[in-house]
Structure 1
Amino acid sequence: MLSVRELRLIIVPLFAFVFSFLLYCREALIHGAKSATYIPLTVSTFHSVDKPPICVPVPAPVPAPLQEDPQELLDHVYRDDGILEVNPDGGHPIFELMDLARARWQVKLRRASKSLDEAVREYVRRYNRRPPKGFDAWWRYVEKHNVQLPDEYDQIWRDLEPFWGYDPVDLQRLQAEREDHKETFTLGKNDTSDISVLKISFGEEIQWDPKALLGGADSIMTLLKDVQHELPPFRAVISPHDSPTLFTDYEVKLAALDAASRGQYIDMSKIVPGERLGWLSGCAPSSPARKRTKSTTSSTQKTFIFDHQKLMDPCLHPELLENQGEFLIHENPGPQKLMLPQFAYCSTALHHDIQIPTLSGWIDDILPRSDDPAWEGKLDERVSWRGSNTGMWHAPYTRWKSSQRPRLVDFANQHNGTVKVLVPPSSHAYGKRIGEGIEIPRSKLNPAMMDIAFAGEPVGCHPETCPELLRIYEWRKRQGAKEMGNFKYIIDVDGNAWSSRFKRLITSNSLIFKATVYPEWFYDRIEPWVHYVPIQVDYSDLYDALIFFRGGLYGEGAHEDLGRQIAIEGRTWSRTFWRKEDITAYVYRLILEYARVMSLDRDSMSYDG
């Protein structure tokens, strides 16, 4: 069997040949992104006779390695939990991670369905059932608006598949009962009406502005306005809050999925929830979290992410339960006894809220464009972040110091001790061992590499804790778009829930590092190490990733060309794959799927073309 390194040496030249053959598409790149290392490839999933084929940007391979002092390199370790363990006797892993990511992305683009018939066949292959009724109209929308990757909606399947194991009579009863649950609203339509807010259940004790809480409803109705006449009747209960609320019992979900796989329904009266174990109730008994398996990674072992979605799963990475506000804020929570059909704006691997994206934080572009210089015009090579201390309630009785944002600010502003960092090789020297790394004093490293601080003043804090926050941290001015545009590198982290600033950040000409526990709606449609750089939520790989691209303290070993490439590809992806039309296509298909699984006659709600 070929090693990863041997496969890489075969794949990269092959892709280089294919890309060269397809250079004729360069002028058709729809947003005109230009780069010496950026090669667009015609992979339009479909086009009509009266429209030219669109070109989807495909990343160029990393330049062929220079064999400086060729050495026998050993393979890195790719773990089942999505982590790459660095072998000191291997090459720098980021070369490898970028190559493999490009290979995955190209495969995904090139296998995309190009016709309705192909899309139906691919749907049946993936999900073992016919598409929902209205799939042909959805396809016409996708085709008209050049929505790319029309098969990549597995997140919808993950969200809705357990409900196929419920009798729709039971589902409709659960949904009707949930409409009266406080802090929800119900969106829907009948056969002849437009989509509207059908019910509001906020309760008198809710302190927030109802109009603000209904902002998501307005956003969803805006997205579906032009296609609502194609949608079947439905009623959807939606939480107005940023974070998910429906904690899943693993045993209940397993029973539902098992029933769904057999085309049967669970008997709700016989469901026996598992043992109450706090957050661990959401994990399989064999998972690292439940087995309390200690990581085999030593404190000095260098690691990177190769599968970002696996890194978001606390069952695989139980340390997330100790360092993320989403999990720290709840002490020993109990799961829902049943899975409930309710929507939210985000979810986690331990929740079963059905994700429905909105336009929160969405922009088409950064304007004026002068606020976002080209890569070469961004003069600050530190990684930047400004933000509020959101993430959880800060009080004497909570573990807020362990949450993601205080940890980030602490991480970037420490001056004591040393940090071991990997020395990036000169040029593209695959053939050089990465080694164990070298120790650098934090007092030198952080001022040169980090510009990370809280902005404004403390929020979400107990009267006793607000003064403590003011005393502990430096609070700087908020960062405007023009100031942010000076930085080549920006990190994005979670707040109270998912980060609504990611769309704005990835639309820029900066390289974005991202650390998160929320698998958002677009993660089947984006490629880490091609469009952004995934970072572990303990930030243990941040120094090494940054230094690979920007170089050491004096810029030595920099691979800025590769950083620039990811920045450009991220921006182009944002303007090609995250348009309003792309969000509409997702929500449109989600509602078709939801209406079918809730229907008393699911067969009649399936596409028969």
Structure 2
Amino acid sequence: MAFPRRPSAALRYVIPAFLFAFCFWLLASPSDLTSGVSSIASPWRSKQSPGKHPIDRLIEAAEKDFAEKLSKTSRTLSEAAARYRERRGRHPPPGFDRWYQFAREKDALIVEDFWDQIYHDIEPFWALKPARIRKDAWDFEMRISIRDGKASSGSDWFWTTIWLDLIGTIEHMLPDMDLALNAMDEPRLVVPWEDINGYMKKAAKTRRMADAKSVVSEFEKLAAPGQGLDQHEKTPEKQWEGEKHYWLIARRGCAPSSPARKAAVITDFDTTPLIKSSFALKHMRDGFVANYTLSTDFCHQPDQQGLEGIFVEPLSVSATKVLFPMFGGSKLAVNNEILLPAPMYWKEEERFMGSEGADIPWSDKEDMAIWRGVATGGHNREHTWRAFQRHRFVAMNNATQLALAENGTSAPPNFGLPPKEYRLAARRHSRLADWVGSWSSVALTDLMCDYEDHEPNQCNYTSPYFSVVPGMPMAEQFHYKYLPDIDGNSFSGRYLGFLRSTSLPVKATLWREWHDSRLIAWKHFVPMDTRFGDWYGIMEYFLGDQMSGIPAHDEAAERIALAGKEWAARVLRKEDMQVYVLRLLLEYARVSDDRRESMGWVGDLLKGET
């Protein structure tokens, strides 16, 4: 909804009050989520300034954010410790000096903000008894154990072996501990918001700076798993839920007052989904993502329950309300796993990284967007596939389907046409389909059909809408300038490979990963709303529209692509994963220690500059 530029004095207060009340009603109305009608409301908060594109302002803001982040770089141990205390409210953990030295040896950039995810993940555990944390960890079937500086595991599951390899590179600096691991693509912990809120309040009371002279600076030794005194600790029984409609599980992690908790539950996915861009206003500005972190939080976006496969029916579901120290590679905003770098990032598999071709000069690339992928996201079925994100993205890049929607021949089966407020030239002149077809190469390589007896590359219910094409190695995709990144069953394993290339990643996700606090949207990558309504606007900004005289911003695209590549080579290396995991596990070992509130590293306070 566009706001008037200069309301009269009498209306200056009445109009905003009315608009606020109307928007509140819109967000709270259960019927909006069950009507089954595609509805794209205006994502605009204010009219665009003449002569300046909204993306120009977002890029400028990102540059300032990046400069501010770099200004916090710590260059001495005492400086790093001081910044830790200022940001965390505690002394650094024992071994912080060894961690700092290791980070320097690995030429890691030391910015305290880089480790925010660690403290987001660990903080609730300060509310649990250390003995309970330890027992829950060693009592889990999939785990890595560390004793006397040696990491081991009884599991040969391929993710476990990769994580074991990563931890093995730093095992000599680690205290004794046990790590429970998530063996699934999907996250498993969804502790109710009310419980987490209580844990966080309790944890806050433990946040203090112990007297430096009384601080304990060594970790305790642990008995073999199941042989210590904590074997007698009573821990809550974990009831593993298998509810296929994951939205019913996931939304309990949102606040009771949130739209996700209050909205009606969608149960009919056999119609064109509701696409309500008004729910995106909280993280958008002038139609484009302005707060990337908030955009990955679905709690203010209840329409996501009908737009993401994870919420409709994941491939596997095994969830619990009980908080315990489980480690995983990715999670939604409401999940409570402790994040490690994803296994494919550490292993650097060719199919995910595609290192060959990653250095192709920008000027040698095709001025197009490329995407190839399998129709994943969960179990897409005859009556639910319209709610899956990959199907939606492919359909809205299909010139034939766009043309049918544009000329009114047939309604889009699973997407909506872009709002008029984007002022797309191709949309105004009724040639959106031709324009998109000129630069988009987006297709599925496998329909993942739910029927068992179907022909290869055919599906009873989706073949009328999608043509299957051969896969394309990532090395070949790097010949294209624009690489949209669309999640599958969970996070996209190709993201790091995209960042390390000279192409421009356009990232749409609801998933959180270990590296999120290191990357800045519009500086290192282009963020996209997971409804994809801003996709055409993003591409018009970068590609322009020659027939309508819309200028391209090719240099801006190249600048972001190369900045992302340079930054990934600086802070997303395997060495950076080692530094991250070492710090994470020092914090985890402390919160699991019975003496944790008096533990820390205070060498700088006792001896001065180190």
Where does structure 1 lack aligned partners over 5 or more consecutive residues? 1-76, 201-210, 270-275, 425-432
Are 1:361 and 1:503, in contact at CA under 8 Å, matched by a contact in 2?
yes
In structure 2, distance between residues paired with 1:217 and 1:335: 20
Aligned to 1:343: 327
Aligned to 1:215: 158
Question: Aligned partner of 1:189: which letter?
Answer: I
1:461 Cα shift?
A: 3.0
In structure 1, distance between residues paired with 2:550 and 2:338: 47
1:423 Cα shift?
A: 10
Are 1:324 and 1:404, in contact at CA under 8 Å, matched by a contact in 2?
yes
Equivalent runs, 1:453-472 vs 2, <5 Å: 453-455=443-445, 457-459=446-448, 461-463=450-452, 467-468=459-460, 469-472=462-465
Which secondary structure does the structure 1 equivalent of 2:448 belong to?
Answer: coil
Are 1:421 and 1:440, in contact at CA under 8 Å, matched by a contact in 2?
no
Are 1:312 and 1:349, in contact at CA under 8 Å, matched by a contact in 2?
yes
Equivalent runs, 1:309-458 vs 2, <5 Å: 309-329=293-313, 336-361=320-345, 363=348, 372-378=359-365, 380-396=366-382, 399-413=384-398, 414=401, 415-418=403-406, 438-455=428-445, 457-458=446-447
Which secondary structure does the structure 1 equivalent of 2:541 belong to?
Answer: helix
In structure 1, distance between residues paired with 2:382 and 2:510: 25
Identity %: 27
Equivalent runs, 1:187-266 vs 2, <5 Å: 187-191=144-148, 193-197=149-153, 199-200=154-155, 211=156, 214-263=157-206
1:78-117 deviation digits (Å, cap 9, x = unpaired): x9x9x87352455311010000011001100111222111
1:239 Cα shift?
A: 1.2
Give yes or no for the alignment of 1:140 onto 2:119.
no
Note closer, same or farther for the CA distance 1:370–1:235 as it changes in structure 2 (3 Å cut).
Answer: closer
Note closer, same or farther for the CA distance 1:309–1:130 as it changes in structure 2 (3 Å cut).
Answer: same
In structure 1, distance between residues paired with 2:309 and 2:419: 28
In structure 1, distance between residues paired with 2:427 and 2:58: 19
In structure 2, distance between residues paired with 1:164 and 1:347: 21
Note closer, same or farther for the CA distance 1:368–1:268 as it changes in structure 2 (3 Å cut).
Answer: closer
Note closer, same or farther for the CA distance 1:577–1:288 as it changes in structure 2 (3 Å cut).
Answer: same
Aligned length: 493
Select which of 263, 283, 292 maps to 1:308.
Answer: 292
In structure 1, distance between residues paired with 2:180 and 2:306: 31
Note closer, same or farther for the CA distance 1:360–1:370 as it changes in structure 2 (3 Å cut).
Answer: closer
In structure 1, distance between residues paired with 2:579 and 2:389: 32
Q: Which has the higher contact order (CA 8 A, sep 6+)?
A: 2
Select which of 119, 135, 155 maps to 1:173.
Answer: 135
In structure 1, distance between residues paired with 2:324 and 2:201: 17
Question: Aligned partner of 1:480: which letter?
Answer: P
Note closer, same or farther for the CA distance 1:370–1:259 as it changes in structure 2 (3 Å cut).
Answer: closer
Are 2:362 and 2:558, in contact at CA under 8 Å, matched by a contact in 1?
yes
1:263 Cα shift?
A: 2.5
Give yes or no for the alignment of 1:497 onto 2:440.
no
In structure 1, distance between residues paired with 2:396 and 2:477: 20
1:215 Cα shift?
A: 2.3
Equivalent runs, 1:576-595 vs 2, <5 Å: 576-595=570-589
Question: Aligned partner of 1:158: which letter?
Answer: H
1:302-354 deviation digits (Å, cap 9, x = unpaired): 611011110111112222222112222169x9973321211111111121111
1:46-87 deviation digits (Å, cap 9, x = unpaired): xxxxxxxxxxxxxxxxxxxxxxxxxxxxxxx9x9x9x87352
Note closer, same or farther for the CA distance 1:127–1:361 as it changes in structure 2 (3 Å cut).
Answer: closer
Please provide the CA RMSD for this pair.
3.5
In structure 1, distance between residues paired with 2:70 and 2:200: 30
Question: Aligned partner of 2:428: which letter?
Answer: I
Note closer, same or farther for the CA distance 1:118–1:330 as it changes in structure 2 (3 Å cut).
Answer: same
Question: Aligned partner of 2:171: which letter?
Answer: Q
Are 2:345 and 2:493, in contact at CA under 8 Å, matched by a contact in 1?
yes
Give yes or no for the alignment of 1:117 onto 2:78.
yes
Are 2:426 and 2:432, in contact at CA under 8 Å, matched by a contact in 1?
no
Aligned to 2:218: none
Are 1:98 and 1:530, in contact at CA under 8 Å, matched by a contact in 2?
yes
1:149-186 deviation digits (Å, cap 9, x = unpaired): 43120101111101111111222333344x14xxxx11
Question: Aligned partner of 1:568: which letter?
Answer: L
Question: Aligned partner of 2:434: which letter?
Answer: K
Question: Aligned partner of 1:451: which letter?
Answer: S
Equivalent runs, 1:6-21 vs 2, <5 Å: none
Question: Aligned partner of 1:85: which letter?
Answer: R
Which deviates further from its counterpart, 348-357 or 239-248? 239-248
More helix by share: 2
Give yes or no for the alignment of 1:129 onto 2:90.
yes
In structure 1, distance between residues paired with 2:59 and 2:45: 15
Are 1:372 and 1:486, in contact at CA under 8 Å, matched by a contact in 2?
no
Are 1:417 and 1:441, in contact at CA under 8 Å, matched by a contact in 2?
no
Question: Aligned partner of 2:260: which letter?
Answer: A
1:121 Cα shift?
A: 1.3
Aligned to 1:558: 552
In structure 2, distance between residues paired with 1:557 and 1:477: 34
In structure 2, distance between residues paired with 1:370 and 1:280: 41
Which deviates further from its counterpart, 361-370 or 469-478? 361-370
1:604 Cα shift?
A: 5.6
Are 1:420 and 1:438, in contact at CA under 8 Å, matched by a contact in 2?
no
1:510 Cα shift?
A: 1.0
Aligned to 1:156: 118
Are 2:130 and 2:593, in contact at CA under 8 Å, matched by a contact in 1?
yes
Which secondary structure does the structure 2 equivalent of 1:243 belong to?
Answer: coil
Select which of 243, 247, 255 maps to 1:284.
Answer: 255
In structure 2, distance between residues paired with 1:586 and 1:525: 11
When the two structures are superposed, what TM-score results if normalisation uses the length of structure 1? 0.74
Note closer, same or farther for the CA distance 1:295–1:84 as it changes in structure 2 (3 Å cut).
Answer: closer
Note closer, same or farther for the CA distance 1:334–1:356 as it changes in structure 2 (3 Å cut).
Answer: closer
In structure 1, distance between residues paired with 2:534 and 2:129: 46
1:371 Cα shift?
A: 6.5
Select which of 60, 81, 85 maps to 2:45.
Answer: 85
In structure 2, distance between residues paired with 1:302 and 1:240: 41
In structure 1, distance between residues paired with 2:343 and 2:300: 31
Which secondary structure does the structure 1 equivalent of 2:323 belong to?
Answer: coil
Which secondary structure does the structure 2 equivalent of 1:472 belong to?
Answer: coil
Which secondary structure does the structure 2 equivalent of 1:153 belong to?
Answer: helix
